[in-house]
Amino acid sequence: MPRRRIPAGHDNHDRWLVSYADFITLMFAFFVVMFASSQADRAKIKRVAQAVTEALENGATQRNRRANPADFAGGLKNLKPDPEPPPSAGAQAAELLPSLNYLQTHLSQEISSGKMRVTLEGRGLVISLQQATFFPSGEDAIDPATYPSLEKVATAIRQLPNPVRLEGHTDAMPIHTTRFRSNWDLSAARAIAVLDLLNNRFQVPLQRLAVAGYAETIPIASNGTEQGRSRNRRVDIVILSRQQLATEPAGAAGVPAATPALPPEKDSHARM
């Protein structure tokens, strides 16, 4: 009996859909796992941040004790440390602390009455002379009654090697007289008057002194009130810190001058 012939089947061209469906299923599972993991980490970090905030604000409360130590320790591993805070003005000008203490002690009466202000800033030790005490209105002549106070400042300056900058400031009210055409002239003239007094009367070398006039451009209070304007009218005696000295132009007081470039030597064998 002849064998029965089995007809040949047709090729299935859609078999790739099975593999594609499996691939899509795996990718979906992968992203689900990744999403779940990220959500867990985010919740953990949130719990850690909450625990730290509560500990800083409220101390060891009952709620903090219920925090999961494992979550706290695990979260800290993923947290980046905060950058170190910048050094304070006192740390930047630490070499001027003895002078600050000296002036605060010997000028306590002037400071308490508001005639002078002594502050330690990043740029140096700043002694502010209020215009109402040291200068007549609209003039640059220093009141002789203030010489004893300025002598104490000069004593502190002489005990230091630091250069000193004398900065004149005015309020925003314009001035125009036969002597001073503007606030720029007045602010610079008052700074120069302090320079002359420190040098001629109290023997502070001129090589250590510099003058700047700022007019009304650097107020420390509002120019909208008389009280604010009176604070802005001042001369600041700034004993520069080492950090500020590094930013001063070469050749200034206390700053080594740059070595000038020498012209090239002529060749002795050069033709005339």
Q: Is there a single domain that holds both residue 100 and residue 204? A: yes
Q: Is there a single domain that holds both residue 68 and residue 143? A: no
Which of the two residues, 17 and 8, has the higher pLDDT score? Answer: 17
C-beta of residue 157 within 8 angstroms of C-beta of residue 239? yes
Rounded Cα distance, 52 and 37, in Å: 23
- What is the pLDDT, as a whole number, of residue 60? 45
Q: What is the DSSP string of 69-85?
A: HHHHHHHHHHSPPPPPP
Rounded Cα distance, 24 and 118, in Å: 74
What is the CA 43 to chain-centroid distance, rounded?
Answer: 36
- What is the pLDDT, as a whole number, of residue 150? 97
Cross-sheet strand order for the sheet of 116-121: 116-121, 124-130, 234-240, 164-169, 209-213
* Model confidence band, residue 64 (pLDDT cutoffs 50, 70, 90): very low
Residue 266: inside a domain: no
* Model confidence band, residue 272 (pLDDT cutoffs 50, 70, 90): very low
* Model confidence band, residue 111 (pLDDT cutoffs 50, 70, 90): very high
Residue 15: inside a domain: no
Q: Is there a single domain that holds both residue 126 and residue 233? A: yes
* Model confidence band, residue 80 (pLDDT cutoffs 50, 70, 90): low
Residue 13: inside a domain: no
Q: Is there a single domain that holds both residue 51 and residue 180? A: no
pLDDT tens for residues 210-265?
A: 999 999 999 999 999 999 999 999 999 999 998 887 877 765 555 555 444 444 44
Q: Is there a single domain that holds both residue 115 and residue 173? A: yes
Output the CA angle 237-129-119, nearest 5 degrees: 60
Rounded Cα distance, 113 and 103, in Å: 15
Query: How many structural domains does the chain have?
Result: 2
Q: Is there a single domain that holds both residue 99 and residue 231? A: yes
**51 — phi, psi (to 5°)?**
-65, -40
- What is the pLDDT, as a whole number, of residue 19? 77
Predicted TM-score of the model (pTM): 0.61
Residue 254: inside a domain: no
Q: Is there a single domain that holds both residue 163 and residue 191? A: yes
**Which CATH number fits the domain that encloses residue 219?**
3.30.1330.60
Residue 61: inside a domain: yes
Q: Domain of 133?
A: 89-245
Q: Is there a single domain that holds both residue 156 and residue 230? A: yes
Rounded Cα distance, 215 and 179, in Å: 15
Residue 140: inside a domain: yes
Q: Is there a single domain that holds both residue 49 and residue 168? A: no
Q: Is there a single domain that holds both residue 51 and residue 174? A: no
Domain final residue pick, 78, 104, 119: 78
Instruction: Please give the share of the chain, as a percent, with pLDDT higher than 90.
Output: 52
* Helices (H), ranges, the chain: 16-58, 62-65, 69-78, 89-92, 97-106, 108-112, 131-134, 147-158, 183-200, 226-232, 242-245
Residue 262: inside a domain: no
Residue 1: inside a domain: no
Q: Is there a single domain that holds both residue 67 and residue 127? A: no
Q: Is there a single domain that holds both residue 95 and residue 49? A: no
